[in-house]
Copies of this chain bind each other. A is one copy, B any other.
Amino acid sequence: MTSSSARAEGWEQRARSGDRVALARLLTLAERGGDEFADLHPTIHARMGHAHRIGFTGPPGAGKSTLVEGYALELRKRAESVAVICVDPTSPFTGGALLGDRVRMNRLTLDPGCFVRSMASRGWFGGLARTSEDVADVFDAVGYDRVLIETVGVGQSEIDVARAADTTVVVLVPGTGDAVQAMKAGLMEVADLFVVNKADRPGVERVVAELEEVLQLRADAEEKPAIVQTVAMNGEGIDELARRIDEHKARSAASGRLATRRAARAAEKVRRLLEQALRERSFAGKGMERRIEEALQSSTPRSPYAVARELLLELGLSGKEARKP
């Protein structure tokens, strides 16, 4: 064991006994990735499995932050410890403008049984899912009862983040064709539970009816997601949401689906780590970026496909010729 991983193990022990500074260091290590976190991960992994991971996704403006805050406060009333991961695509350019959210989460950050971690999503390539899962692993290992993962956008990668949970909650609001928009955004298949937030607005019956209609098409009737109406701003429906989330967890634990889902998550993680390692090891130290640039900058414009083939040949990784007679 290296001295840096011994230090990380020390942080892990201190974080488990409630040291928030040590926990923050572990989270930074998880976000950064790399060998130091990989060395530590078996220790973390051996302690994982207690926490219930709940992902929240849905279109921007659905009130996810307020809902997550309200749900976290509800869990705190029952003396459960809660970690919140906000996948928050701030940028150097817009960073300052988003303080609003953090201020809103103040009621949580002042509570010692609660830990809020904001993560920026832009600037990584495919790193969003890896990093949020590693951060959730840390919270799980050090003993949090619930880990809530909230995404801001509603695209492929954000949905992948939210579905990498034990229970995935899709948040919608009443409005023209919100259920149809949810289908279009691919949200229907990932939902274990729907929340129609801002349910004091007109149109709530319509979005619920639309959802129910679409859900009837789902073949796996046993798994049919519940639809919960909330007004997160004043706490309405949050207790019902909490009950439904627990119900989903209990049902999927009893049926074995929870175990299957976690196993699939582990396999997916291995695949992602292998891909990342292959990429780094093939590209690093070979001046690949410079070669790509050179190869593209010939006197006649060249097809990226032709350039990629040439570079694969150079790397000794071309399987093309061998496959032809």
Partner-B contacts on A (CB < 8 A):
35, 37-38, 41-42, 44-46, 49, 59-61, 88-91, 93-94, 97-98, 100, 121-122, 126, 128, 151-159, 175-178, 180-186, 188-189, 214, 217-218, 263, 266-267, 269-271, 273-275, 277-283, 288, 292-293, 295-296, 300-309, 311-312, 317-320
Contact = CB atoms under 8 A, between A and B. Distances in A.
A217 B94 CA distance: 8
A136 to B, nearest CB: 13
| Most chain B beta carbons < 10 A, residue from A45, A49, A293 | A45
A30 to B, nearest CB: 11
So how many copies of this chain end up in the complex? 2
Given A156-B155, A301-B45, A303-B45, A312 B274 contact: yes
Contacts of A37: 305
A276 to B, nearest CB: 9
A273 B305 contact: yes
Contacts of A177: 61
B296 A267 contact: yes
Contact of A270 (B153, B281, B304, B318): B304
Given A184-B98, A281-B317, A273 B308 contact: yes
Contact of A305 (B38, B184, B312): B38
A318 to B, nearest CB: 8
A153 B308 contact: no
